Amino acid sequence: MGTPAVTSKLPSVGTTIFTVMSGLANETGAINLSQGFPGFPVSGELIDLVNQAMRAGHNQYAPMPGIMGLREQISDKMEGLYGHRYDPNHEITITAGGTQALFSAITAFVQPGDEVIVLEPAYDSYIPAIQLAGGVPVPVALQAPDFRPDWSEVRSKCTSRTRLIIINTPQNPTGMVFTEEDMQALLSITHDTDILILSDEVYEHILFDGHPHRSVASYPGLAERSLVVFSFGKTYHATGWKCGYVLAPAELMREFRKVHQFTVFSVNTPLQYALADFMQERSHYSGLPAFYQAKRDLFRKLIAQSRFRILPCHGSYFQLLDYSTITNEVDTEFAKQLTRSHGVASIPVSVFYTTPPANQRLLRFCFAKEDHMLEAAAERLCAV
């Protein structure tokens, strides 16, 4: 008797490049600027609040949508920042991180044969979730070096089968940030249609050079058709806690929760109590733009004399570098060589595409690290 035959639902998917590059960094002792996690500690106050919640007995299942105190804090925050108050009872759900929120949203609304427009390069979980739901990904390429959306192409790709448009601002991996013109174009395209929007806004507080965050929540014509995803991990330097939330009108949230309850049911209880208390102090996230801009500016200054070309970065904690003047090697191989030979791990940008552009030579570096690590990495990059 052998292993039963299995037909893969994701035949082209293997181990993610993030696992590969982090593993290679560990194996070689390289500085890991590949995977997108902050390299500095979580607030001691927040850790104490988690400990207090555990000792207070908050260790059993939370309500399926999340504890009410946390949902109320999120509602207050959204109203204060974006002018839209979401009903804590029916329009807010706490999730096991942003990726789970994205997966549950896609599988809740995408039927077999439905088309989903994805702006590429794109976060790598979008396409597999669409495929698992039986949907058809419809990629629209963002154009380097600024990676602005071509809304005329988006409009041309919309058909009677278009169920969803996925947007991400600030954008991973490019650092592009949506403008007022982008939001108005999206409004125009989706007006008087049944197209839904899935808006990935996990880097909402990491913006630079005075750029504001344009949330779909601020635009009634978009909010009424949007599921909006956020991340506590990105905001509070705690990506390993895997805690986020999704917001949507009640009719959409009802469908989202049908999937959510059978994906995770509920999310880590003591974390929710701690976050509900921690969110009462707005300064914990209001200072993030300046904090991360200092990181971005330091990294860019340190590598200014390197052979890499520095691309624009207006948000997120990722910097793209163009290595086309160094070698014509494909990015997946050059990223591995850079890790082994020069001791800096990055992510090749081609993995964020369905079909990568033929002549693009880009690597993504995470600068959410301590200054001494950025300095050491930059010294090695300048030696390339």
Bridge partners of residue 140, in order along the sequence: 119
Rg (CA), the chain: 21
Residue 64 has pLDDT above 80, yes or no: yes
Domain end call among 234, 253, 283:
283
| Prediction pTM value | 0.96
Residues 24 and 77 in one domain: no
With respect to residue 166, please indicate whether it lies within any of the assigned structural domains. Answer: yes
With respect to residue 279, please indicate whether it lies within any of the assigned structural domains. Answer: yes
With respect to residue 47, please indicate whether it lies within any of the assigned structural domains. Answer: no
**Residue found by looking up tokens 């390289």 in the block:** 30
Residues 275 and 309 in one domain: no
Two structure tokens written together for 46: 């927040």
Residues 208 and 316 in one domain: no
pLDDT score, position 37 = 87
Residues 97 and 237 in one domain: yes
Q: Name 110's Cβ contacts closer than 8 Å, sequence gap at least 6.
A: 116, 130, 133, 134, 135, 163, 164
Contact (CB, 8 A) for 244 and 209: no
pLDDT score, position 5 = 87
| Structural domain boundaries enclosing 360 | 17-37+287-382
What is the domain count for the chain? Answer: 2
Q: What is the pLDDT of residues 143-184, one digit of tens each?
A: 889 999 999 999 999 999 999 999 999 999 999 999 999 999
Upper half-sphere CA count for residue 60 (Cβ side, 13 Å): 2
For residue 119, give the nearest of 135, 99, 98, 140 by alpha carbon: 140
Please, which pLDDT band fits residue 17 given cuts at 50, 70 and 90?
Answer: confident
Domain end call among 223, 249, 283:
283
**pLDDT higher for 1 or 5?**
5
pLDDT score, position 107 = 97
Distances (CA, A) of 7 to 10, 111, 133, 254, 270: 9, 21, 16, 32, 40
Residues 114 and 161 in one domain: yes
Residues 276 and 294 in one domain: no
Return the CATH number at 326. 3.90.1150.10
Contact (CB, 8 A) for 60 and 73: no
pLDDT score, position 1 = 64
Residues 225 and 100 in one domain: yes
With respect to residue 50, please indicate whether it lies within any of the assigned structural domains. Answer: no
DSSP secondary-structure letter at 121?
S
DSSP secondary-structure letter at 138?
E
Q: What is the mean pLDDT of the chain?
A: 96
Please, which pLDDT band fits residue 59 given cuts at 50, 70 and 90?
Answer: very high
Phi-psi category of residue 29: left, alpha or beta, with phi > 0 → left and psi -120 to 50 → alpha: left
Return the CATH number at 165. 3.40.640.10
What are the backbone dihedrals phi and psi of residue 249, each rounded to the nearest 5 degrees, phi first? -55, 155
With respect to residue 49, please indicate whether it lies within any of the assigned structural domains. Answer: no
With respect to residue 4, please indicate whether it lies within any of the assigned structural domains. Answer: no
- What is the spatial order of strands in the sheet that 309-310 belongs to? 309-310, 318-322, 362-366, 347-348
Residues 21 and 87 in one domain: no
Residues 278 and 291 in one domain: no
Two structure tokens written together for 274: 């701690």
Residues 254 and 360 in one domain: no
Number of other residues whose CB lies within 10 A of the CB of residue 43: 14
Domain end call among 283, 304, 319:
283
Residues 195 and 319 in one domain: no
| Pairing of β 318-322 and β 115-120 | unpaired
With respect to residue 309, please indicate whether it lies within any of the assigned structural domains. Answer: yes
- The size of the chain, in residues, is 384
For residue 292, give the nearest of 94, 2, 40, 18 by alpha carbon: 40
Q: What is the pLDDT of residues 67-85, one digit of tens each?
A: 999 999 999 999 999 999 9
Residues 203 and 266 in one domain: yes
With respect to residue 143, please indicate whether it lies within any of the assigned structural domains. Answer: yes
**pLDDT higher for 12 or 291?**
291
Q: Name 290's Cβ contacts closer than 8 Å, sequence gap at least 6.
A: none
